[in-house]
């Protein structure tokens, strides 16, 4: 699977975990140069507290377009250390 936005490959992996229709990529598959820390968080009743990162490509910013669960609840342990995307980030099969 490949995640792209604004012409840049953000992450690529044959080892994604699909939860609620979202592909969660391993953290090591992420191209760190495109990601910026964000203070934004949200809470899922069964996954826990999500943290976000903004994506910056060629001077354009996609705020809070990637999320992850650093300490997921037990039911969502399979997505620990993994990232998912939204807000126009395309996730496609290679």
What CATH number does residue 88 fall under? 2.170.150.40
Q: What is the pLDDT of residue 94?
A: 78
Query: What total of structural domains would you count in the chain?
Result: 1
For the entire predicted model, the pTM comes to 0.96
Q: What is the pLDDT of residue 61?
A: 98
Spatial separation of the C-alpha atoms in residues 45 and 48, rounded to whole Å: 6
- Other CB atoms within 10 Å distance of the CB of residue 93: 7
**What is the arithmetic mean of pLDDT over 44-65?**
98
**What is the arithmetic mean of pLDDT over 44-50?**
98
* Residues of the domain holding 24: 2-92
Q: What is the pLDDT of residue 92?
A: 98
Spatial separation of the C-alpha atoms in residues 28 and 72, rounded to whole Å: 18
User: With contact defined as beta carbons under 8 Å apart, do 89 and 66 qualify?
Assistant: yes
């Amino acid at each position: 699977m490949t995640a792209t936005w604004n012409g840049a490959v953000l992450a690529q992996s044959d080892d994604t975990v699909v939860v609620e229709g979202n592909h969660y990529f391993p953290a090591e598959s992420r191209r760190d140069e495109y990601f910026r820390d964000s203070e934004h968080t949200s809470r899922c009743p069964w996954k826990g507290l999500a943290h976000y990162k903004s994506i910056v490509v060629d001077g354009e910013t996609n705020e809070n377009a990637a999320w992850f669960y650093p300490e997921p609840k037990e039911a969502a342990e399979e997505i620990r250390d993994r990232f998912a995307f939204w807000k126009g980030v395309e996730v496609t099969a290679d």
